[in-house]
């Protein structure tokens, strides 16, 4: 009986729907494992289809093609180590989230996911059928249990595997990032190790998919919950991990433990990764954005340059008569510091033409929000024209505070294909700018040093759509607004909770009303990266038509 077992762990970045490309990644990982003398090469949950593929998996032509791709992969990887890979499986009318063990040219074992997540961004109950509790599979003379992702967050699957002879646990995951997620994962996995007395390897994928970023950070735990190794966060990595059998069973041979960055760095890395992969996977090589001289567009420009490189980012200043010289100077300074293209496109002539066109219809009415929004919508029109002409995806730059209360113009500054800061409150935007000025990493394509000058961060926020306009004219100061939004949105709290936190009831009531009446805007807003469990899109699903208001 062998006393050593080698697992090659492929922490890789699949593309949803790219069956052949994902299979090629798996084959390449398998080749590395074979060269390293691995007994098993393992890839994450649903790797062959990419994850989260949502309703695409229910399309019969797609799931059948995925299964055939797995069968062909088994044939290609017949002469060497076993290969474990996630994908869909069909039995009769039932569709499962499965984990396949490929050996000797065929699918030798199939594990079916039992617990289907039905919260936050996950909707697996409506997509998959629940598989039965099962036992371990064999690779050589070693019996391995593989709870699939959510299965490892519950005690019954791991306990059943231990009771039926599993010698260690290999958990394949498609687990996306949110702030603090890794500690939650680690706590659940330590519980499984303590309950079963078995070593556990937690294998996660990396990369961006729509709003989600999978952050990797694959790790191993020995009995007692000791951390045996931890792979890098966010990076594609293939690692060869050994287990040794002793008198007390298998133990993971300790390896390198990569430490995680700060919360600020993790969030920034997620925003860069999300935009980089969104562009790469959708085919956009270049982006553009309106650079106003304000803090939001400055950080989006910086994220874009760090994700794609300065040569692939166009910044456009679209001034009106309300645009201050300070804003003009600040915008140009940011573009120059980042090294990206800077275009100057005044909107005065276009605005005058629209004003003259509408004058007969608006006669006798005082200027109001309508005229302010015309400026924003004209900017959106011009930016989209540049996007169409040059094939550059337009980025929108609204922070989470604005998205929450509708402080943005639909078909105006909300125009765009992706929003890197959609889940970043305004107060965190300020701090993220300061963090980026002080920190540079090798995964950033932009320059080191101060790229957003202090005046951009420190000056009072304004949309500059009328004379002497400030955001605080319409909204509570951002520290107060964000604190109330965190209660009402992220924690699903009440007006009474806001009052208990020290805010005036009527102000909290106004904020709650703005959240509800802005729902229709969010339904039409660009997708953006998810940083929290309270992100707008799949995490939070509210009706557009809604007359209920909190009476507290």
Q: Which residues are catalytic?
A: 45, 113, 149
- For the stretch 346-361, what's the b/e string if a residue is b when 16 or more beta carbons lie within 10 angstroms of its beta carbon? ebeebbeebeeeeeee
Of 331, 324, 380, 328, the C-alpha closest to 354 is 380
SS3 (DSSP) at 336: helix
- The token pair at 278 is 């969104």
Q: How far apart are CA 134 and CA 93, in angstroms?
A: 20
Tokens of 13: 């970045």
Which residues contact residue 432 at a Cβ distance below 8 angstroms, ignoring those fewer than 6 apart?
A: 264, 267, 268, 299, 424
Q: In whole angstroms, what is the distance from residue 15 CA to residue 17 CA?
A: 6
Residues in the chain: 552
272, 303 in Cβ contact below 8 A? yes
Phi and psi, residue 432, nearest 5°? -65, -40
Q: Rounded CA gap, 420 and 430, in Å?
A: 15
Instruction: Tally the C-alpha atoms within 13 A of residue 512's C-alpha that lie toward its C-beta.
Output: 24
Question: DSSP label at 294?
Answer: S
For 83, phi then psi, to 5°, come to -125, 125
* C-alpha to C-alpha distance for 291 and 329, rounded to whole angstroms: 11
| Pairwise CA distance, residues 222 & 199, whole Å | 4
281 φ/ψ angles, rounded to the nearest 5 degrees: -80, -20
Cβ atoms 85, 101 nearer than 8 A: no
């Amino acid at each position: 009986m062998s006393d050593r077992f080698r697992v090659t762990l492929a922490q890789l970045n699949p593309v949803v729907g790219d069956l052949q490309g994902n299979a090629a990644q798996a084959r390449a990982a398998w080749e590395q494992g074979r060269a390293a003398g691995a007994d098993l090469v393992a890839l994450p949950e649903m790797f062959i289809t990419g994850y989260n593929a949502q309703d695409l998996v229910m399309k019969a032509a797609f799931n059948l093609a995925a299964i055939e791709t797995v069968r062909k992969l088994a044939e290609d990887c017949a002469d060497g180590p076993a290969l474990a890979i996630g994908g869909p499986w069909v039995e009769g009318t039932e569709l499962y989230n499965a984990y396949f063990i490929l050996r000797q040219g065929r699918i030798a074992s199939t594990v079916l996911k039992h617990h289907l997540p039905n919260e936050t961004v996950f909707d697996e109950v409506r997509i998959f059928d629940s598989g039965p509790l099962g036992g371990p599979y064999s690779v050589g003379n070693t019996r391995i249990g593989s709870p699939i992702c959510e299965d490892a967050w519950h005690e019954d699957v791991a306990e059943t595997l231990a009771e039926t002879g599993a010698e260690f646990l290999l958990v394949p995951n498609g687990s996306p990032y949110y702030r603090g997620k890794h500690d939650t994962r680690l706590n659940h996995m330590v519980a499984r190790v303590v309950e079963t007395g078995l070593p556990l390897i937690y294998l996660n994928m990396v990369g961006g998919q729509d709003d989600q970023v999978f952050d990797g950070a694959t790790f191993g735990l020995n009995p007692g919950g000791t951390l045996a190794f931890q792979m890098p966060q966010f990076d594609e990595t293939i690692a060869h991990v050994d287990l040794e059998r002793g008198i007390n069973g298998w133990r993971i041979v300790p390896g390198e433990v990569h430490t995680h960055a700060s919360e600020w760095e993790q969030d920034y890395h997620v925003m860069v990764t999300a935009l980089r992969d969104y562009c790469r996977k959708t085919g956009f090589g270049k982006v553009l954005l309106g650079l106003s001289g304000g803090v939001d567009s400055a950080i989006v420009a910086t994220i874009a340059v760090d994700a794609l490189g300065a040569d692939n980012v166009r910044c456009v200043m679209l001034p009106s008569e309300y645009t201050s010289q300070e804003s003009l100077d600040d915008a140009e300074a940011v573009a120059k510091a980042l090294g990206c293209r800077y275009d100057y496109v005044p909107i005065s002539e276009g605005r005058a033409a629209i004003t003259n066109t509408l004058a007969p219809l608006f006669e006798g009415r005082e200027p109001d929000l309508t005229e302010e929004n015309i400026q924003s919508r004209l900017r959106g029109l011009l930016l989209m024209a540049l996007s169409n002409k040059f094939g550059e995806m337009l980025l929108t730059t609204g922070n989470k505070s604005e998205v929450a209360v509708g402080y943005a113009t639909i078909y105006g500054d909300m125009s765009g294909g992706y929003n890197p800061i959609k889940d970043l409150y305004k107060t965190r935007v300020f701090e993220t700018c300061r963090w980026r000025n002080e920190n540079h990493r090798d995964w950033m394509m932009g320059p080191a040093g101060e790229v957003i000058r202090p005046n951009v961060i420190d000056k009072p926020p304004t949309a500059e759509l009328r004379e002497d306009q400030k955001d605080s004219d319409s909204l509570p100061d951002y520290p107060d607004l964000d604190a109330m939004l965190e209660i009402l949105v992220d924690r699903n709290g009440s007006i009474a909770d806001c009052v208990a936190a020290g805010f005036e009831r009527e102000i909290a009531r106004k904020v709650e009303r703005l959240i509800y009446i802005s729902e229709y805007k969010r339904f039409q807003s660009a997708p953006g990266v998810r940083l929290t469990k309270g992100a707008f899109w799949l995490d939070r699903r509210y009706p557009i038509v809604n007359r209920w208001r909190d009476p507290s």
